[in-house]
Chain A
């Protein structure tokens, strides 16, 4: 199959990306504005020998995906804010049990059932801190239909490589808009598959062998005896109350992120080189910011855009570096300033950090962002 030019919604591109990355299991509970992901998965998966299950609720939706992943299938579930809240417990479970999984959250206006058909970006901090306990978090956020495809592939690859749940945080803007996408041929897609143990190996399910980043993962039920638990566990997978052991396990889990920032952190910079001012925007709202930056540049104002593509771990080092060379940073997002807190933290007072956003279900238009930006001039 050669490259194909298509006109797709972000949600549809997500499924195309997932299938190319090797998704063979989807379970979930359809919720606006993510429903198209479930619909298209239901159409496509059976044709590829995969499985689609509509579960009884959001919690079961992620639980089944975790189980399927444990048996060796690349699995995904998709939801929006209300369902993302319900899935938090199992996100923590997948993090501690090191089960690869992709969770898509197509954000809508919140809190609670909020505004089902309108965009929002209020789940940014929830993606980081939603489940209890310290845990590794990888969260990616696309600003176009094409990037939704690319980041879904990347989400699967990172989930497999680091054996951890990966959150694809999109929003109603990118989820529902249709735009041009050139879908690469399968041969052009880099696919990472989890490492599995050899049959005759003396297998310890949670032991990291030399040269590996994470433990090798046997398909559950294929003859390897091991235990999976949300309790702290030792290398065999069986529960352990040893604080020494818990410390080793937690250090190893957290190091998946801290030791691999170069691999994980990704961002886009536009006109940052000579910028005196920087706008920080991500996801669907970055489209507003891109338009605003172009218009401001046309007026001769030296402004650039910094767009985190990996939201978590945040591009701390780069953001800090940029902040040393600019007069002001404006963070814009469709919430009350969630990422602004993180930007403020990493900038460490190098320059003022302002905020402009909305959380009423409306998309920001470039003109209002420009107006707000100009207050600094």
Chain B
């Protein structure tokens, strides 16, 4: 993918989406790409819907914000209702399979993926849904190398959770193969 990735990660506060955004951006730096991460602050960052945005590009990134993402992830219904309608024509929307999609949504691709279910039942911890999502996104786009992603995850996750997160990453890659 030579085109710039403009990614919006949304869900509820506490799902680790800002961390996921930072991890993906740090992986991009390891690959010698440019990356910028921004997030929303204020009341909406607590509970309700929260979002983190990442731009990854081979070129210099001037404007730092995502206005029309070409990939949006939503892990909760509230986040989906609020954020997924803004998507570029050929963009990809990824939602957790628990989410009911709004009518009339237009996107290049719409994927409903059991991200949270996989986290709960196959990895055993819902908290790793963000890492599964990263595996899924990188599996689908190849925007960063797997080596860089794994290294970036390992340097950000708490000690003692490395194996859990590696397993989550693997599950994400496996999910990507199905879509």
Contact = CB atoms under 8 A, between A and B. Distances in A.
Given A5-B29, A7-B22, A7-B25, A177 B41 contact: no
Contacts of A177: 36-38, 64
A363 B22 contact: no
B98 interface: no
Nearest to A367: B67
Contacts of A337: none
A180 B35 contact: yes
B158 interface: no
Interface stretch (A62-70, A88-96, A190-198, A284-292): A284-292
A290 B63 CA distance: 8
Contacts of A50: none
B63 A291 contact: yes
B146 interface: no
A178 B38 contact: yes
Nearest to B63: A291
Most buried by A among B22, B41, B67: B41
A32 B41 contact: yes
A116 B43 CA distance: 11
Contacts of A176: 38-39, 41
A178 B63 contact: no
Interface in B88-129: none
B26 A365 contact: no
B7 to A, nearest CB: 14
Nearest to B21: A178
A360 to B, nearest CB: 15
Nearest to B27: A7
A55 B40 CA distance: 28
Interface residues of A, number: 23
Category for how many chain B residues contact A: 10 to 19
A255 to B, nearest CB: 38
B37 A178 contact: yes
B170 interface: no
A7 B26 contact: yes
B136 to A, nearest CB: 22
Contacts of B38: 176-178
B159 to A, nearest CB: 19
B160 interface: no
A294 interface: yes
A7 B63 contact: no
A254 B31 CA distance: 50
Contact of A287 (B26, B42, B62): B62
- Summarize A's interface: helix, strand, loop or mixed: mixed
A117 B42 contact: yes
Given A7-B26, A287-B62, A180 B34 contact: yes
A287 B35 contact: no
B166 interface: no
Nearest to A286: B62
Interface string B42-54: 1000000000000
Interface in B65-93: 65, 67
A33 B36 contact: no
Identify which of A116, A180, A363 gathers the most chain B CB atoms within 10 Å of its CB: A180
Nearest to A172: B41
B35 A179 contact: yes
A32 B65 CA distance: 19
B41 A291 contact: no
B41 A288 contact: no
Contacts of B63: 287-288, 290-291, 365-366
A173 interface: yes
A176 B62 CA distance: 15
B62 A294 contact: yes
Nearest to A7: B26
A179 B63 CA distance: 12
Given A32-B41, A176-B41, A180-B29, A7 B62 contact: no
A173 B64 contact: yes
A291 B36 contact: no
Interface in B1-43: 22, 25-26, 29, 34-42
Nearest to B33: A180
Interface string A267-296: 000000000000000001001101100100
Contacts of B61: 179
Interface of B: 22, 25-26, 29, 34-42, 61-65, 67
12 contacts: A7-B37, A32-B41, A33-B41, A117-B41, A117-B42, A178-B22, A179-B35, A179-B36, A179-B61, A180-B34, A288-B62, A291-B62
Given A117-B40, A177-B36, A179-B35, 18 more contacts: A7-B22, A7-B26, A7-B29, A117-B42, A118-B42, A176-B38, A176-B41, A177-B64, A178-B25, A178-B36, A179-B61, A180-B29, A290-B62, A290-B63, A291-B62, A294-B62, A366-B62, A366-B63
The 8 closest A-B pairs by CB, nearest first: A117-B41, A291-B62, A117-B42, A291-B63, A290-B62, A178-B37, A179-B36, A177-B64
